[in-house]
Amino acid sequence: MAVNPALASPQVAARDREALRQVWQNLQPDSCPRSYNFHLHTTCSDGKLKPKELIEQAIAIGLKGLAITDHHAIGGYKVAQSWLEYIEKSSFSAPFPHLWSGVEITAKLLDIEVHILGYAFDPRHPSLQHYLQGNAPKQHEARAATVIDTLHQAGGLAVLAHPARYRRSADELIPAAAKLGIDGVEAYYAYANPDPWQPSSKQTQQVKQLSAIYNLLNTCGTDTHGSNLLRRL
């Protein structure tokens, strides 16, 4: 059942966040893309799927949980949340997927550009609003430390997206992000966009070894920008 953090009490929001932690702690290599998917984009940023279409696909696939992570925007999440709540109330079918709040924020870490995913945060939190205006942050607001701290202030969790896709190695970036208090890393990711989707084994092994060293959570996601939730493009 979907829980709207904008309407939830702090206690409910905390339970929602803890439920997400529990899911991540039990993810397997085959959890994505047919059980869980925590990296999805809609037409509210640079994706091709409308939020309603995304939810309808998620239900058809049989997803148990997901997050829409549009770039610097949560409009898609809000539309999807409302649509999911409407379907739940008007249908006797069950179960429906759980939708967590999500966003993807561009940040600076070790002098390069990285992407930080935020989850299970309060969309109304004042400190987060300047990251939700559709544009990448600049200067102090773009520092990874600031982004991570802001997501925590909003009650959320911070995750380093696709750690093996940057101009600096995961061996460098993950320890640096861990030092700043990041909660997790996107361990299961398909770097070569295979069909069917499957996490890249070499990078997954590397990222999971590092996440274990630094006691980080592991997440998964297709990073879908196209019209099919089972693929990236």
pLDDT in tens, 43-98: 999 999 999 999 999 999 999 999 999 999 999 999 999 999 999 888 767 789 99
Q: Which residue has the tokens 């987060």?
A: 128
Does residue 127 register a pLDDT over 80? yes
> Following CA atoms 70, 73, 76, 78 in sequence, which dihedral angle do they give, to the nearest 10 degrees?
130
Does residue 116 register a pLDDT over 70? yes
Positive/negative CA dihedral, 227, 59, 223, 206: negative
Cβ atoms of 52 and 87 within 8 Å: the answer is no
Contacts of 97 (CB under 8 A, 6+ apart): 2, 55, 58, 59, 63, 64, 65, 66, 84
Query: CATH assignment of 10-220, given 3.40.47.10, 3.90.1150.10, 3.20.20.140, 3.40.50.620?
Result: 3.20.20.140
Burial class (CB in 10 A: 0-12, 13-18, 19+), 170: buried
Cβ atoms of 35 and 119 within 8 Å: the answer is no
Confidence bin at 1 (pLDDT 50/70/90): very low
Task: Write the DSSP symbol of residue 224.
Answer: B
Q: Which of 26, 25, 61, 21 is nearest to 40 (CA)?
A: 61
Mean pLDDT of the region 215-226: 98
Mean pLDDT of the region 127-133: 97
Least confident of 8-17, 35-44, 129-138, 193-202: 8-17
Q: What is the pLDDT of residue 9?
A: 65
- State the chain's mean pLDDT as an integer: 94
Q: What is the pLDDT of residue 8?
A: 59
Determine how β-strand 98-100 pairs with β-strand 157-160: unpaired
